[in-house]
């Protein structure tokens, strides 16, 4: 079987990678195996410090804290791709990145198991008031009580958002004897004995535990407020390991103080510190509420999850840098062609990112007219379009003239050639 050809850029130097926020060593190893130069930081970089670092960087890797704004992207002239080593991508200005020809990749599913397991732990911890008992013991207080402490067997778990986390959680919860209901805007196939309900209100009204696993959208912002909490059962528990904008914190505090809610667990918040340290100061009233578990956005932060995320995102970035494949990009037309074979010595791959306007393909095909184009694929997304074409029997001298002709077209955003 023919091996795929290892492609290299025809007109650029070494690929430099900047990884922030303690990205997994698995990603570092993957990039170094490709011969890329890798610089790592355990913290985030902000403002001018990040701008200065990005001046000669081709690949940026971040987690959830680093804010990649249009201002920063405007200065990152060499940047080819961004990897979000997490689920979230809202920390990056996706439209600004796209219009500069920079695809953004993430890992939407690799930490699903870690999040689901944490929810199970929180359900048991809340039901037994373990957080409060633990704090009392650390303060030297012995308080052996059983009032308002429950087994979870036979209780009802309501899952809002039945995606990869919600569905895995459903299976784990049923194994512990919980009855599972879920609400989702899509009609989905339940796993096990789970049952889908028609409305969020119906789910809130019947659940002993409500756990949120929805993306950050306009429709999900402030999804749980005073009205929704009032619908929940007296003594019910609210868990949010999804997006911080989903729950109105003051409404939650009021529900806890009144005793209507039996407790809550939060891993995400509307405002979150950028760096570790004594910075969680925005919600003093929440800190005083009983039977509340507060964690610093660590639901997906396990060694296993971070390793899987490191492998998945680095693989996507390497495929894009080496071959132009954009499959899985969240802000970019998804394009992929089968690999160029090792014996296709004089075949080059043209990667042309351009404005999605009429006449571009006609202009491009006129340039290609004197070459043998073996395969070609084009796709568009919004204002952006992407063409990938494999051109056979092209010399190094012809590569430069081909590159110059394509970059001179009026709709060109970015063009690369690998061979």
- Give per-residue pLDDT as tens, 134-151: 999 999 999 999 999 999
pLDDT cut 90: percent of the chain above it: 88
Return the exposure string of 63-95: e unless at least 16 CB atoms fall within 10 Å of the residue's CB, then b. bbbbbbeeebbeebeebbbbbbbbbbbebbbbe
HSE-CB for 18 with a 13 A CA cutoff: 21
Indicate the length of the chain as a whole number.
419
The predicted-structure confidence for 73-125, as pLDDT tens digits, reads as follows 999 999 999 999 998 899 999 999 999 999 999 998 899 999 999 999 999 99
| Neighbouring C-alpha atoms within 13 Å toward the C-beta of 311 | 8
Q: pLDDT tens-digit profile of 200-221?
A: 999 999 999 999 999 888 999 9
d(CA 364, CA 360): 6
Confidence grade of residue 2 (pLDDT, cut at 50, 70, 90): low
Predicted pLDDT at 11 = 53
Mean pLDDT check: name the lowest of 6-15, 21-30, 122-131, 187-196.
6-15
Burial of 2 (0-12, 13-18, 19+ CB in 10 A): exposed
Q: Are 261 and 252 in contact (CB under 8 A)?
A: yes
- pLDDT greater than 90 at residue 341: no
Question: How far apart are the C-alpha atoms of 9 and 11, rounded to whole Å?
Answer: 6
CA dist 27 and 310 (Å) reads 5
Res 274: pLDDT:
80
What pLDDT is attached to residue 12?
A: 53
What whole-number distance in Å separates Cα of residue 290 and Cα of residue 177?
26
**For all residues of the chain together, what is the average pLDDT?**
94
Query: How confident is the model at residue 228, as a pLDDT?
Result: 98
CA distance 213 to 164: 9
pLDDT in tens, 279-327: 999 999 999 999 999 999 999 999 999 999 999 999 999 999 999 999 9
pLDDT at 342: 75
CA-nearest of 114, 105, 97, 29 to 62 is 105
CB 16 within 8 A of CB 39: yes
CB-based burial of residue 263 (10 Å sphere; 0-12 exposed, 13-18 middle, 19+ buried)?
buried
Global pTM value? 0.83
Measuring CA to CA, how many Å separate 134 from each of 23, 141, 142, 239, 299? 32, 9, 10, 19, 20
């Amino acid at each position: 079987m023919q091996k795929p050809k290892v492609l290299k850029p025809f007109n650029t130097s070494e690929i430099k990678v900047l990884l922030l926020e303690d990205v997994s060593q698995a990603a570092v190893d993957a990039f170094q195996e490709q011969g890329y130069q890798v610089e790592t930081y355990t913290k985030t970089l902000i403002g001018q410090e990040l701008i200065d670092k990005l001046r000669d960087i081709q690949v940026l890797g971040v987690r959830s804290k680093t804010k990649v704004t249009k201002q920063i992207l405007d200065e990152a002239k060499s940047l080819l791709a961004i990897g979000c080593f997490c689920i979230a991508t809202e920390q990056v200005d996706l439209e600004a990145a796209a219009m500069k020809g920079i695809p953004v990749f993430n890992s939407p599913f690799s930490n699903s198991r870690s999040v689901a397991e944490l929810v199970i732990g929180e359900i048991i911890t809340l039901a037994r008031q373990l957080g409060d008992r633990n704090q009392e013991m650390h303060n030297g207080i012995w308080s052996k009580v059983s009032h308002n402490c429950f087994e979870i067997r036979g209780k009802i778990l309501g899952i809002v958002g039945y995606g990869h986390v919600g569905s895995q959680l459903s299976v784990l919860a049923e194994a512990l004897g919980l009855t599972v209901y879920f609400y989702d805007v899509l009609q989905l196939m339940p796993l096990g004995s789970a049952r889908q309900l028609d409305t969020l209100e119906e789910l809130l009204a019947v659940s002993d535990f409500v756990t949120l696993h929805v993306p950050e959208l306009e429709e999900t912002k402030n999804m749980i407020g005073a009205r929704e909490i009032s619908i929940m059962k007296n003594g019910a528990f609210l868990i949010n390991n999804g997006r911080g904008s989903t729950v109105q914190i003051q409404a939650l505090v009021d529900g806890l103080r009144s005793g209507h809610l039996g407790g809550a667990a939060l891993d995400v918040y509307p405002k979150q510190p950028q760096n570790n340290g004594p910075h969680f100061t925005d919600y003093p009233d929440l800190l005083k509420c009983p039977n509340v578990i507060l964690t610093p956005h660590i639901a997906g932060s396990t060694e296993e999850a971070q390793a899987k995320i490191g492998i998945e995102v680095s693989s996507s970035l390497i495929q894009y840098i080496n071959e132009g494949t954009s499959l899985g990009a969240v802000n970019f037309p998804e394009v992929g062609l089968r690999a160029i074979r090792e014996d296709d010595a004089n075949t080059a791959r043209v990667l042309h990112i351009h404005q999605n306007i009429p006449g571009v393909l006609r202009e491009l095909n006129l340039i290609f007219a004197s070459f043998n184009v073996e395969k070609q694929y084009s796709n568009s997304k919004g204002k952006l379009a992407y063409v990938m074409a494999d051109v056979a029997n092209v010399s190094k001298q012809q590569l430069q003239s081909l590159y110059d002709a394509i970059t001179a077209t009026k709709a060109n955003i970015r063009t690369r050639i690998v061979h």
